[in-house]
Structure 1
Amino acid sequence: MFRQWLTLVIIVLVYIPVAIDATVLHVAVPTLSAALNTSGNELLWIIDIYSLVMAGMVLPMGALGDKIGFKRLLLLGSALFGIASLLAAFATSASWLIATRSLLAVGAAMIVPATLAGIRTTFAHAAQRNTALGIWAAVGSGGAAFGPLVGGMLLAHFYWGSVFLINVPIVLLVMALTARYVPRQQGLAQQPLHLTQALGLIVAILLLVWSAKSALKGSVPLWIVASTLLTGTALLVNFVRLQLAAATPMIDMRLFTHRVILSGALMAITAMVTLVGFELLMAQELQFVHGFTPFAAGVFMLPVMLASGFSGPIAGVLVSKMGLRIVATGGMGLSAVSFLGLAATNFATQPWQAGLLMALLGFSAASALLASTAAIMAAAPKEKAAAAGAIEAMSYELGAGLGIAVFGLILSRSFAASIQLPPGLSPQAAEQASSSPGEAFRLAQESAPELAQGIIAAAKTAFIGSHSVALSTAGMILLILATGIWFSLAKVKG
């Protein structure tokens, strides 16, 4: 019994920096913009690339876990994660940071399915497994939620690279504990990896996201966007076709035909879209519009962080007592209510209302994450634990990447359409100021004082209106998805 819970402690310890790194840079947007002289588009890719690459790599890494056992996978992933953290901490350009964040994602993609497979293998009893998964989900959602606060604390005292350096001692400790206390598992030597197919999947995801971003921004010729979209779609279809045709696929795509697993993946994607996208929006608004420091912005978002951290174990008990359907649908429905309420909230004059609604969002979204994890891991055969863990992890990271992309695109599109700039700006300057709040504030710093005040006022007004549009849109989508999940899980017991 002691060995089981010690394994869980090790798993949770290594999962903390993986989860935090998905959002730790949210409050660093203004700092990175100044330190690395990055554009708004480069900033989105710096933040987004981690989740998008991880979403593609968890599939082959899940297969690697089946092949060599989760202990070896955990050690390999931890080592790579530590090395990539060192490289990212000393980046001197946006391209360097994007590249090292990609490498960081590969290490994280090894760690996540290893942790889920470890839980599935270690805890055979359903009630204990639900409790363990509740703790794991709390670390995932809570770590992502606490990322801005951690980043704000470090930026208040150290240079921005410190957000990566803190990973190194954690990784070294986890590797020592894993080597000493975690038992080795027998792998499946016949499990193929198909790394070229995995790279094709990553390219497909990146092309699809790039085409979506470019289409909404309207700055790229339509034929290029269409060609990129078709190429990405073709690569994705080819990946699925190859997996279905293979005798021993990299991942069993037929798992997606299981209604519970498919519903769980959809819930995980949705929950992470809401949490990560909201935090990115909030971190920028609090700093750009209301003048918060990175640390103060993290503190303001503390309700969503605390609620996310505490909800996992509670939701695990609720799943056991009330059933998956009620917890899953309730979590998504309450997330929708919180978004609609936040869309009508003024963060400067209604801080208590904002705090209560953020707490509701954190609890409900994290509950949906736990429900998705329980659904996927309980429905999957034990021998496919790592593959099922890869599906869950892919859903988490794809949701995080899409949250950044979707919220960022809605925000930038609405911002560009609503900003009313003062007269006297050249067409080039007006286009720059309309592209993002960061660009508007950068232009204001380079302009005469009278003109700068007008640019800043216009940017703040446009941002506040854009945040309402983004949150209202997310709330309505969540209501629709909650209804779909309710009917999808109608015949599921427990």
Structure 2
Amino acid sequence: MAVRQPDPKRWLVLLAVMLAFLPVVLDMTILHVAVPTLTQALGASNTQVLWIIDIYPLLMAGLLVPMGTLADRVGTRRILLAGLAIFGLASALAAAAPHPAQLIAARMLLALGGAMIMPCVLGVIRRTFEDPAERGLALGLWGTVGAAGAAVGPLIGGALLGHFWWGSVFLINVPVMLIVLPACWLLLPRQERISSGHWAIGQAVLLILGMIATVYAIKAGFGAKQPVAVVLPVLLLGLALLTVFARLQLRSPAPMLDLSLFSRPAIVAGIIMAIVASGSLAGVELTLAQELQYVLDKTPLQAGLFMVPLMAAAALGGPVAGGLSARFGLRPVACLSLAISAAALAGLAGTDFHDAGLVAPVLLALLGLALSIGLTASSIAIMSAAGTHEAGAAGSLEATGYELGGALGITLFGVFMSGVFGAHLVLPEGIPDPLADQAARSIGDVYIAAQQLGAELGAALITAGKGAFSATHSVLLTAAALLMGLLTVLVFFLLAPTRETPDGDR
């Protein structure tokens, strides 16, 4: 049997698809710092702001699997090029949006383009790099872009807002797409193996609506934005739609999503790692950002600089994971990275950030490195267990894990944080009941309530809030450490019976 020669342009292909992936990742976090500015510029209501933020991950979570399977049906190159064009157009429309409704619509279009790009990037890497060692390195570099891009998104957003208007956080994507689109058109092979069967649009709609309804209900319910009477019917509807979709997949001779992928322990382990690790990273960043700004009185830029060790180490973790996995095997690398993440989280839980010295930067760097290695290990597990003809579907499953992990991680961390904060807050005497109820919700509400009190009582409330949040951050990070420890044990057993680098088609 003839041995397939590696593509001589494979590293240029990798560079092109990583550049394509970067704006998609940046858009997940870059908007957070722009919210106050665009709220005032557009006169957006609180509900409109929530939809501007949430519509991107909500819609993308529902679109990733259909777009990944569509790429397997009609070709990764076609879907990727179309996604790049849509993402660039949507970025320009978002930057020029004069009203909140138009910005929400542009964010929906951004989610469509991003959902077409993300699984295709992983699919291209899987098809381009047949050698397991090279594939591990390529996925490591891809993981670097993902981890570093999400981490530096707020810093880039802050820097742009310091010199330009709020639309610049979207407009920056346009020149990137103008470079990446022709590069991918020239570099990606025009002939590729595609899966047989048609793409059932009805099943795609079922999955999209089911995912959006379920994720929205979880976010709204856990976030206490909506009452149970509203959330429960939406959740039941979402689960019912997903159940119908799953039954159709099991009965179809050519399903949109091959559910047999979940029978492979390596893929299950990889998806769970992606959800928990990305959720933990997002939740930890949220917790630390609030601790640094509300408790230590740092500016957003100072808070970002404080977390540079986390970001820098996360950028290094991808290539490290690829090399280590090739040398020592996926199972020990994945489990060790998760165990180190748990230890770093436990260390941060016991750190006094008022006088952290070198302890906090070292622990942040250790956490960033370990979580990045864990995320890359999840990519290697998933893509190595999938055949080349399944690369798009497998890549979409992993990308869905990232989206769900990041979105739900922030939601669940926020809800847990609110509950623990209220339990630890000891209010000074003399605060009216309505303001006391408001202050017990979060550290941000403490500052809002304090503005409506006298100087002395307001200062006492802020002092109490700072103490409560420091205790909250310790409990929250300890819980995250325990969760990461449990994940370590689970991944150890899930990866045990698998071959770690199966190649070729299945």
Q: TM-score, normalised by structure 2?
A: 0.89
Q: 2:353 aligns with which of 327, 347, 356?
A: 347
Name the counterpart of 1:433: 439
Name the counterpart of 2:318: 312
Name the counterpart of 1:396: 402
Name the counterpart of 2:206: 200
Structure 2 distance, partners of 1:89, 1:437, is: 32
8 Å Cα contact 2:58-2:216 kept in structure 1: no
The question of 1:414 aligning with 2:413 is answered no
> How do residues 101-250 of structure 1 correspond to structure 2 at under 5 angstroms?
101-186=107-192, 188=194, 190-216=196-222, 220-250=226-256
8 Å Cα contact 1:63-1:192 kept in structure 2: no
Structure 1 distance, partners of 2:145, 2:431, is: 48
SS in 2 for 1:491: coil
Which string of whole-angstrom CA distances, capped at 9 and with x for unpartnered residues, describes residues 13-38 of structure 1?
A: 11111122222234456656766777
Seen in structure 2, the aligned counterparts of structure 1 residues 482 and 449 have a Cα distance that, compared at 3 Å, is same
The question of 1:478 aligning with 2:484 is answered yes
Name the counterpart of 2:504: none
Q: 1:19 aligns with which of 2, 25, 37?
A: 25
Seen in structure 2, the aligned counterparts of structure 1 residues 178 and 159 have a Cα distance that, compared at 3 Å, is same
> How do residues 298-309 of structure 1 correspond to structure 2 at under 5 angstroms?
298-309=304-315
Seen in structure 2, the aligned counterparts of structure 1 residues 97 and 347 have a Cα distance that, compared at 3 Å, is farther
Q: 2:367 aligns with which of 356, 361, 366?
A: 361
SS in 2 for 1:291: coil
Letter paired with 1:404: I
SS in 2 for 1:354: helix
8 Å Cα contact 2:94-2:107 kept in structure 1: yes
Which string of whole-angstrom CA distances, capped at 9 and with x for unpartnered residues, describes residues 344-381 of structure 1?
A: 12223205211111111111111111111111111112
**What is the CA RMSD across the aligned residues, in angstroms?**
2.7
Seen in structure 2, the aligned counterparts of structure 1 residues 207 and 423 have a Cα distance that, compared at 3 Å, is farther
Seen in structure 2, the aligned counterparts of structure 1 residues 270 and 194 have a Cα distance that, compared at 3 Å, is same
Which string of whole-angstrom CA distances, capped at 9 and with x for unpartnered residues, describes residues 246-299 of structure 1?
A: 222221111111111111111111111121221122223322332322222221
For structure 2, list consecutive stretches of 5 or more residues without a partner in the other structure: 1-6, 501-506
Which string of whole-angstrom CA distances, capped at 9 and with x for unpartnered residues, describes residues 71-127 of structure 1?
A: 221211112212222333355676655554333222111111111111112122222
- Give the total of aligned pairs: 494
Worse overlay, 269-278 or 213-222: 213-222
Letter paired with 2:425: I
Which string of whole-angstrom CA distances, capped at 9 and with x for unpartnered residues, describes residues 164-193 of structure 1?
A: 221111111111212233322346485433
Name the counterpart of 2:335: 329
The question of 1:370 aligning with 2:386 is answered no
8 Å Cα contact 2:313-2:369 kept in structure 1: yes
Seen in structure 2, the aligned counterparts of structure 1 residues 222 and 16 have a Cα distance that, compared at 3 Å, is closer
SS in 1 for 2:352: coil
Seen in structure 2, the aligned counterparts of structure 1 residues 117 and 211 have a Cα distance that, compared at 3 Å, is closer
Name the counterpart of 2:299: 293
8 Å Cα contact 1:325-1:492 kept in structure 2: no
Q: 2:73 aligns with which of 64, 67, 78?
A: 67
8 Å Cα contact 1:27-1:283 kept in structure 2: no
Seen in structure 2, the aligned counterparts of structure 1 residues 278 and 230 have a Cα distance that, compared at 3 Å, is same
SS in 1 for 2:28: coil
Worse overlay, 362-371 or 412-421: 412-421
Worse overlay, 228-237 or 421-430: 421-430
Structure 2 distance, partners of 1:265, 1:200, is: 22
8 Å Cα contact 1:23-1:147 kept in structure 2: yes
Which string of whole-angstrom CA distances, capped at 9 and with x for unpartnered residues, describes residues 354-412 of structure 1?
A: 11111111111111111111111111121111111111211121211122222122122
Q: TM-score, normalised by structure 1?
A: 0.91
Which string of whole-angstrom CA distances, capped at 9 and with x for unpartnered residues, describes residues 294-349 of structure 1?
A: 22222111111111111111110111111111011111111111111111122232
8 Å Cα contact 1:67-1:191 kept in structure 2: yes
Seen in structure 2, the aligned counterparts of structure 1 residues 413 and 81 have a Cα distance that, compared at 3 Å, is farther
SS in 2 for 1:157: coil
Structure 2 distance, partners of 1:378, 1:295, is: 40
Letter paired with 2:67: M
8 Å Cα contact 2:195-2:389 kept in structure 1: no
Name the counterpart of 2:503: none
Structure 2 distance, partners of 1:165, 1:438, is: 30
8 Å Cα contact 1:28-1:294 kept in structure 2: no
Seen in structure 2, the aligned counterparts of structure 1 residues 219 and 78 have a Cα distance that, compared at 3 Å, is closer
Structure 1 distance, partners of 2:195, 2:499, is: 35
Structure 1 distance, partners of 2:355, 2:37, is: 26
8 Å Cα contact 2:95-2:167 kept in structure 1: yes
Structure 2 distance, partners of 1:404, 1:291, is: 22
SS in 1 for 2:29: coil
Structure 1 distance, partners of 2:452, 2:202, is: 47
Letter paired with 1:50: Y
Q: 1:255 aligns with which of 261, 285, 295?
A: 261
Worse overlay, 197-206 or 240-249: 197-206
Seen in structure 2, the aligned counterparts of structure 1 residues 120 and 222 have a Cα distance that, compared at 3 Å, is closer
Residue identity over aligned pairs, in percent, reads 46
For structure 1, list consecutive stretches of 5 or more residues without a partner in the other structure: none
Structure 1 distance, partners of 2:63, 2:34, is: 26
SS in 2 for 1:435: coil
Structure 2 distance, partners of 1:94, 1:337, is: 43
Letter paired with 1:468: S
Seen in structure 2, the aligned counterparts of structure 1 residues 72 and 146 have a Cα distance that, compared at 3 Å, is same
The question of 1:269 aligning with 2:279 is answered no
